[in-house]
């Protein structure tokens, strides 16, 4: 979708010509497969190791992220960060609300809400097509929509259709 407002100025005519302090590093993108939530044990003190059980809500949350459009753009480090975030999600859904702010900050980095996606300049493809007018517009769509309309003959008195209109 095109931006709103006037086109940007020619860079040579700008009042400020600040240069980036450091050069940008271009990385090769390698899409990573979404991992399963791992089974593991946690240290329960003198009692030994206890198996960690993921809350059902965290399993559903994880599956939602794995199926999300954003996941197509996740690298291995993104999945690692999201896996750590899953632990925070599990903590929240196990009753520890103190972890909720950290959870919100972390999922925002992945575009969890409409606001987050807008800030990250993410758009779904359907929105792009609708904004570009590639939906059901055009001459063919107009013929399909209005092709059966016919002009009614006039009664000649200027008061409406011949069939006794208003």
Q: Quick check: is 160 in a domain?
A: no
Q: Quick check: is 145 in a domain?
A: no
Beta bridge mates, 41: 51
Q: Tell me the H-state helices in 54-124.
A: 56-67, 76-93, 100-108, 114-119
Query: pLDDT tens-digit profile of 41-64?
Result: 887 777 778 888 999 999 999 999
The label of the residue with tokens 């929509």 reads 145
Over range 65-78, report the average pLDDT. 94
| pTM greater than 0.85 | no
Q: Quick check: is 65 in a domain?
A: yes
The domain of 41 spans 29-112
Q: Quick check: is 13 in a domain?
A: no
Phi, psi for 102 (deg, rounded to 5): -65, -40
Q: Number of folded domains in the chain?
A: 1
Q: Quick check: is 143 in a domain?
A: no
Q: Quick check: is 105 in a domain?
A: yes
Query: pLDDT tens-digit profile of 81-132?
Result: 999 999 999 999 999 999 999 999 999 999 999 998 899 998 888 755 555 6
């Amino acid at each position: 979708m095109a931006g709103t407002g006037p086109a940007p100025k020619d860079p040579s005519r700008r009042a400020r010509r600040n240069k980036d302090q450091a050069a940008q590093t271009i990385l090769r993108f390698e899409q990573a497969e979404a991992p399963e939530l791992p089974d593991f044990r946690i240290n329960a003190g003198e009692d030994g190791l206890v198996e960690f059980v993921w809350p059902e809500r965290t399993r559903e949350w994880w599956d939602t992220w794995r199926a999300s459009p954003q996941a197509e753009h996740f690298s291995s480090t993104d999945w690692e960060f999201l896996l750590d975030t899953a632990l925070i999600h599990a903590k929240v859904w196990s009753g520890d609300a103190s972890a909720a702010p950290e959870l919100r900050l972390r999922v925002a980095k992945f575009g969890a809400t409409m606001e987050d996606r807008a800030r990250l300049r993410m758009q779904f493809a359907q929105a792009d097509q609708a904004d570009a007018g590639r939906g059901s517009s055009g001459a063919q769509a107009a013929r399909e929509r209005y092709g059966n309309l016919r002009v009614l003959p006039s009664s000649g008195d200027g008061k409406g259709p011949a069939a006794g209109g208003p």
